[in-house]
């Protein structure tokens, strides 16, 4: 699994958003769509849910879990730190979602997102190796964090068991 936010930001219309790559593909969040289209917060999410039956899971969108991202990244995409999962829109999902946006800004933003955001530039072999190494390091760091959490939880369970033994005995 490859989850990354490139260190670069891209300006679309009058908004600046991070480039979000997940499993080797670029995605946008509802919050990003609202921001670049200058719509009230929640507009993209509402439109998605009103037309949910028209979107194909795995093709137009994916449901990512909070555990797949660092907490700071999760929140920077507009997801609540308490949300267990969030919707990521692919290029086709984004285009289907904004079909109803027909103002001049919408046309400009759609063109910019398709031509500049979703179109990835081929990278050199060295850069691909770097990105893979970075993804491996991030995954190893996540495993280390989970191991630390697991160890702490085990210590707490052991302490509870000792207290229970003391109370029973």
Per-residue buried b or exposed e for 16-44, using 16+ beta carbons within 10 Å of the residue's own CB: ebbbbbbeeebbbbbbbbbbbbebeeebb
Residue 1 binned pLDDT confidence (cut-offs 50, 70, 90): very low
Residue 89 binned pLDDT confidence (cut-offs 50, 70, 90): very high
pLDDT tens-digit series, residues 135-152: 788 889 889 999 999 999
Beta bridge partners of 21: 4, 26
Strand pairing class (25-27; 61-65): unpaired
Over 80: is that where the pLDDT of 154 sits?
Answer: yes
Beta strands in the chain (DSSP E): 3-12, 15-22, 25-27, 61-65, 85-89
Over 70: is that where the pLDDT of 167 sits?
Answer: yes
Joined tokens for residue 92: 């086709």
Q: What's 117's DSSP letter?
A: I
CA distance 113 to 161: 56
Per-residue CA distances from 5 to 2, 17, 140 (Å): 10, 10, 17
Contacts of 138 (CB under 8 A, 6+ apart): 3, 4, 70
CA distance 49 to 51: 5
CATH number of this structure's domain 3-118, picked from the four choices 2.30.130, 2.60.40, 3.40.190, 3.10.260: 3.10.260
The whole-model pTM stands at 0.64
pLDDT tens-digit series, residues 60-76: 998 888 777 666 566 66
């Amino acid at each position: 699994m490859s989850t990354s936010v490139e260190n670069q930001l891209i300006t679309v219309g009058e908004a600046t958003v991070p480039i979000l790559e997940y499993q080797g593909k670029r995605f946008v969040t509802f919050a990003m769509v609202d921001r670049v289209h200058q719509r009230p917060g929640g507009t993209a999410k509402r439109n998605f849910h009103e037309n949910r039956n028209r979107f194909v899971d795995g093709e137009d969108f994916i449901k990512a879990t909070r555990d797949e991202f660092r907490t700071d990244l999760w929140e920077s995409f507009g997801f609540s730190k308490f949300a267990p999962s969030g919707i990521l829109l692919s290029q086709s999902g984004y285009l289907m979602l904004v079909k109803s946006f027909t103002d001049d800004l919408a046309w400009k933003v759609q063109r910019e997102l398709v031509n500049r955001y979703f179109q990835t530039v081929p990278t050199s072999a060295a850069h691909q190796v770097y990105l893979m190494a970075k993804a491996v390091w991030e995954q190893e760091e996540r495993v280390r964090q989970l191991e630390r959490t697991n160890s702490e939880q085990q210590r707490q369970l052991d302490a509870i068991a000792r207290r229970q033994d003391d109370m029973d005995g």
